[in-house]
Amino acid sequence: MATFSAITSVIFAPSLEPSFSNNVIAERTSNLKMAIGGWRKNSFPSLKTNRFCVSCSAKPETVQKVCEIVRRQLALPAETELTSESKFSALGADSLDTVEIVMSLEEEFGIGVEEENSQNITTVQEAADLIEKLVEKKAA
Amino acid sequence: MVLVLGAGCCFVKGYVVEHLLHFRLLAKLSQGRMFSFVSKRLSLMMMTKVCCFQRNFSSALPPLVPVKLPSKMETHFWYVLPDEVKSESLLSQYSELLSPREKKNLYHMQGDQFKKSALLARVLVRTTIARYQTNCQVNPRSLKFKKTIYGKPEVDWENGDKWCPPPLHFNISHTSSLVACGVTVNVPIGIDVEEKQRRLKNKILAFAKRYFSPDEVKLLTAISDPEIQRQEFIKLWTLKEAYVKAVGRGFSAAPFNTFTIRARVVKMGGFHHFDTQHSEASEIVVESSDDPENLTRNWQFALLDLAGSHYAAICIEKENSAGGEAGVPMRLTVWKTIPFVEDERVSGTGAVVPISGLIKQL
């Protein structure tokens, strides 16, 4: 499913306009929505982030926990919408907030995040994916 | 439509063509064939020598007042206090200066205060850089930005122009209550601003042990008063951030725990006058645990109490060869500004209080 999403997002990307993608999303599955949404934000895969993260399918509980920590760190009002695609910077997080969030995540999940990885955590989803990867590695 | 496209192209083709188009457009305008959406764009583009034209359009922004570049040994520091920018129509005109991508980013931001300071940050950097181009009028809206391979923002000057843009370096930082931009010529700069009252969600020492160097942890641990400890933490954070931003390679090139920043007392001999609160000047130095001495000796720091509400850290590379002259102060000029509206030079006033670092305010 994830593979399909990644490939499809390549095909659709060049012709993507915000209004067009809204119509497309309505007809597709939520997985595809996430892939296109992620693709739309960065036109090209940056050196740092890997949008074609085939293994990324973090558990909803993980995403939920990350959201809680982010909400607490940034003292977001209840009405602020927080989804897996939410970008920390768009929520008002500065670099100190992001580092604090990473530290809270480390404590919560019992993991250690390398500095170069913490730079790549810009959304809730990215945080959740990295956490699961590290938790798996630790368990192995 | 044609008018807009034509005027837009002039910035690609260069200064001479730009002038020709100005005259052609002026001719058209005087004939009275103006559409309002075109007028807004044109009013921004024709910054100089068109006062009579601008009077007809009350929604037009006034021309940007040019500023002389800092000399090779100088640092310029500009800041905006969002609370002083109250006019909704001014903010709306500011939004028009942004690129489509910047507008989209702004649209997705949550929180009015945060959105406003994010808008002002883009406006400050665009107008500030435009103002330094004294040889050729640059529209702040037409400036393009790119990132280095390491992610540090820089200006993307369009190729093929007849003029050679100066080797201007800039760096921005903002909180929800202060937006700042530092500018140098020839040397990289990094700045960071932080609210003095900023509180961590985590415990300070736990955070420091996780992210700071052992020497810095030792220094913070030795402070018994929790409020002083918190203040020293914030100051240290801004200095470390400013350093990493000046180096421009992101956290992974200079993880926070691999370098130590500390203040070192400097003897007050010689001809330099330092502005400090103490009788002895303190120089801020950075020492790296896994880096040859050369790299870390090249950086100069200043730490300020800004506008009574913020700590501001500035880090620039020293121009001279490795080592450089010891004890040379950072020559600093600070302005409080509202783009297009007013500037106030505040260096040397109570708005800028040096905390440490060798600083000479101009």
Cα separation, A67 vs A69, in Å, equals 5
Which pLDDT belongs to residue B297?
A: 66
Segment among B71-85, B281-295, B327-341 with least mean pLDDT? B281-295
In angstroms, the separation between the Cα of residue A105 and the nearest Cα of chain B is 11
**Among candidate residues A61, A60, A66, the one with its CA nearest the CA of residue A102:** A66
Which range of A51-55, A136-140, B237-241 scores highest in mean pLDDT? It is B237-241
Q: What digits encode the pLDDT tens for the residues A87-135?
A: 998 999 998 999 999 999 999 999 888 876 777 788 999 999 999 888 8
Which pLDDT belongs to residue B246?
A: 94
Which active-site residues of A does the annotation give? Answer: 94
Cross-chain residue pair B201–A100, CB shorter than 8 Å:
yes
Q: Which residue has the higher pLDDT, B281 or B246?
A: B246
Cross-chain residue pair A103–B151, CB shorter than 8 Å:
no
Residue B33's pLDDT band (cuts 50, 70, 90): very low
Residues of B in contact with A87 (CB under 8 A): 108
Cα separation, A60 vs B125, in Å, equals 40
Cβ within 8 Å of A, B 92-111: 105, 108-111
Cross-chain residue pair B109–A92, CB shorter than 8 Å:
yes
- Residue percentage of chain A with pLDDT more than 90: 23
Cα separation, B33 vs B207, in Å, equals 63
In angstroms, the separation between the Cα of residue B205 and the nearest Cα of chain A is 13
Report residue A35 as tokens: 């892939």
**What number is the average pLDDT over the span B235-263?**
89
Q: Which residue has the higher pLDDT, A3 or B351?
A: B351
| DSSP state string for B241-308 | HHHHHHHTSHHHHS-GGGEEEEEEEE---SS-----SSSSEEEEEEEETTS-HHHHHTEEEEEEEETT
B31 — contact with chain A (CB < 8 Å)? no
Which pLDDT belongs to residue A117?
A: 75
**What number is the average pLDDT over the span B51-71?**
67
Residue B296's pLDDT band (cuts 50, 70, 90): low
DSSP, res A15: G
**What number is the average pLDDT over the span B60-78?**
89
Of A76, A90, A103, the CB nearest to B207: A103
Residue B17's pLDDT band (cuts 50, 70, 90): very low
Q: Give the chain A residue whose CA is nearest to the CA of B242.
A: A95
Please provide residue B273's backbone torsions phi and psi, each rounded to the nearest 5 degrees: -105, 130
Which pLDDT belongs to residue B91?
A: 95
Q: How far apart are the first and last CA of chain A?
A: 25
Hey, is B169 helix, strand or coil? strand
Cα separation, B355 vs B275, in Å, equals 9
Report residue A86 as tokens: 């939410």
Q: Quick count: other Cβ atoms within 10 Å of Cβ B102?
A: 18
- Residue percentage of chain A with pLDDT more than 70: 59
Residue B180's pLDDT band (cuts 50, 70, 90): very high
Q: How far apart are the first and last CA of chain B?
A: 47
* A53 within 8 A of A39, measured Cβ to Cβ: no
Cα angle: A16, vertex A20, A26; to 5 degrees:
115
Give me the amino acid identity at B216. E
Cα distances (Å, whole numbers) of residue B222 to B204, B217, B231, B316: 13, 9, 13, 29
Residue A36's pLDDT band (cuts 50, 70, 90): very low
**Complex ipTM, two decimals?**
0.74
Which pLDDT belongs to residue A22?
A: 41
Q: Give the chain A residue whose CA is nearest to the CA of B193.
A: A94
Cross-chain residue pair B176–A92, CB shorter than 8 Å:
yes
Cα separation, B158 vs B144, in Å, equals 8
Sorted by where each begins, the domain ranges of chain A are 60-139
Q: What digits encode the pLDDT tens for the residues B160-174?
A: 444 557 779 999 999
Q: Residue A10 pLDDT more than 80?
A: no
Cross-chain residue pair B200–A100, CB shorter than 8 Å:
yes
B143: left (phi over 0), alpha (psi -120 to 50) or beta: beta
Q: Give the chain A residue whose CA is nearest to the CA of B175.
A: A94
B207-210 long-range CB contacts below 8 Å, 24 or more apart?
A: B207/A100, B207/A103, B207/B233, B208/B233, B210/A103, B210/A106
Q: Which residue has the higher pLDDT, B59 or A28?
A: B59
Residues of A in contact with B255 (CB under 8 A): 115
Residue B120's pLDDT band (cuts 50, 70, 90): very high
Is 1.10.1200.10 the CATH classification of the domain at A60-139?
yes
In angstroms, the separation between the Cα of residue A8 and the nearest Cα of chain B is 24
Cα separation, B101 vs B318, in Å, equals 34
Cross-chain residue pair B110–A81, CB shorter than 8 Å:
yes
Q: Give the chain A residue whose CA is nearest to the CA of B210.
A: A103
Cross-chain residue pair B255–A87, CB shorter than 8 Å:
no
Hey, is B5 helix, strand or coil? helix
**What number is the average pLDDT over the span B275-299?**
68
Cα separation, A101 vs A113, in Å, equals 11
Chain A contact probe: residue of B107, B110, B212, B240 with most A CBs at under 10 A: B110
**What number is the average pLDDT over the span B304-326?**
82
| Strand ranges in A11-133 using DSSP code E only, listed in sequence order | none
Q: Quick count: other Cβ atoms within 10 Å of Cβ B122?
A: 23
**What number is the average pLDDT over the span B232-245?**
96
Residue B292's pLDDT band (cuts 50, 70, 90): low
Q: Give the chain A residue whose CA is nearest to the CA of B176.
A: A92
Q: Which residue has the higher pLDDT, B82 or B323?
A: B82
Q: Residue A32 pLDDT more than 80?
A: no
**What number is the average pLDDT over the span B189-215?**
95
Cross-chain residue pair A99–B176, CB shorter than 8 Å:
no
Q: What average pLDDT does the structure give for chain B?
A: 79
Three-class HEC string of B71-113: CCCEEEEEEECHHHCCCHHHHHHHHCCCCHHHHHHHHCCCCHH
For B181-213, give one letter per residue: b (16+ CB within 10 A) or e. Answer: bbbbbebbbbbbbbeeebebbbebeebbebbbb
Cβ within 8 Å of B, A 49-88: 72-73, 76, 80-81, 87
Cβ within 8 Å of A, B 256-295: 256
Hey, is B25 helix, strand or coil? helix
In angstroms, the separation between the Cα of residue A27 and the nearest Cα of chain B is 24
Q: Residue B2 pLDDT more than 80?
A: no
Which pLDDT belongs to residue B331?
A: 94
Q: Which residue has the higher pLDDT, A54 or A87?
A: A87
Segment among A90-99, B205-214, B216-225, B260-269 with least mean pLDDT? B260-269
Of A92, A94, A115, the CB nearest to B255: A115
